Each structure stands twice: as C-alpha cells, then as structure tokens.
Structure 1
Amino acid sequence: GANWSTGWLIYVDADTDGSRGAGEELIRVGEHDGSPAIRQTAAIPISYQGTGFRSRGQPETVFDFCDDRGADYARRVTVNLVGRHTVCHGPKSPGEDKCAVDELPECGG
C-alpha cells in the first residue's frame, strides 16, 4: 500500500502493478514507530522505471514529518520526478530561504 505512517517496503515490481506480489523480490523493509508522525499529500507509492524516472503517480510527492513539540519542529520532504528530495522546515521567517513553509496544516501549524 501507500500508507507511509507505519513504514515502507522497497521491492522489485516485476509486473509493474504498483503492489508487491508473490515472488517479487523484497529488497528492504523500513519500520516506523509513529514518531514523528508522517503525513503525505496523496496515498500513492513512489516507484521508478529502469531509466530512473518515476513510473506512476504525480511528478512530486510531499511528506510532512510532524513533531509532538509543534509545527516549528516539523519538516516537509518533497520527492520530485527523478527522486531528488528537498527538505523544508516551518514556519518561514523574514529573509529565510524560499524552501521554508508558512504552514504545515497536516502538523497542526
């Protein structure tokens, strides 16, 4: 599935259906205990073709990593079409880089 809040799988999707099926090689399991909370803008998997480009879904996927201490400690990670990521933090202050975000609504900010 595409719910990242409890962890993730890295596998070879031999039949390109977006789900791990019987016999498809499991490469790595990433477990997540729920802290910080992970919220994503869309419940989609991130998958790549042999060329290195995304094979399905939207061109970029956004994850918010929420912290119990509040939005000041939250981070937003954006993964683009070729797998590069950008890490932003909130809230934005005057003179801060354009990556900082004014609000992280998924984190209560």
Structure 2
Amino acid sequence: MILHQQVDAAKHSLQSVSYTHLDVYKRQVMEILREIYDEVTSGNEIRSAIAASNRHKNYPLSKIDGTSMWQTGIQIRANRNSNRIPIHPVTAGIYIATMMAQVNLLKEKGHSYSEIA
C-alpha cells in the first residue's frame, strides 16, 4: 500500500516537471559549475583554503560532536529505517541534472572520462 502511494505521489510530482524544466535547471547550474571550475584552475580556491587553514591556527574550531544538534542527528539516524525513506522525483531529477552538467563541463574542458567517473 505504501509503495503504491509513493508511486502515485511520484507520478503527480512528475506532471509538474518536464525534461525542459530540467534542461533549464542544468543551464543555470552550469554557470555555477563554471565559476567553481574557474576558481580551481586559477588557484583562487586553494589559496582560500590555505588562508582559512592559517586562520584556524589563531582561531581554532571548537568540537561540535557534543552539541545538541549533533546528538539529535545521531538519535534520528539510529531510529530511521532507510528502506522507508521516499525518493522525491524532482529532487532526484535535479541531482541527475547537476551531475550531467558537471560531466559535460569536465568533458568540455578536456578531461577524459576516466577522470570524470
């Protein structure tokens, strides 16, 4: 019964999203991925990471594993049945569109498929 409800909900969600919508999303996310790629290839990203690391020497991060948020997350994950988590078709489509945009960008920049996968 639950599976049928999830399938019906998925069909309803898919009616509002078409491949055209995912293509539009893919074009939008491509702009973000290009900016990230440019930051990495220019060396800006690694310079920023090194600067942040140096700041942590003077201002170290505190431990978060004892905070209430962290403890709540542990309890939620312990009590959840991963077989009963529904897959939202729109979220899945956006995830795949993002992955394909990244694959296309890396291929466009001359990366081989062995690097991409």
TM-score (norm 1): 0.19
Bigger relative contact order, structure 1 or 2, given CA contacts below 8 A and separation 6+?
Answer: 2
The structure with more helix, counted as a fraction of residues: 2
Structure with a larger share of its residues in strand: 1
Give the greater-gyration-radius structure (CA).
2
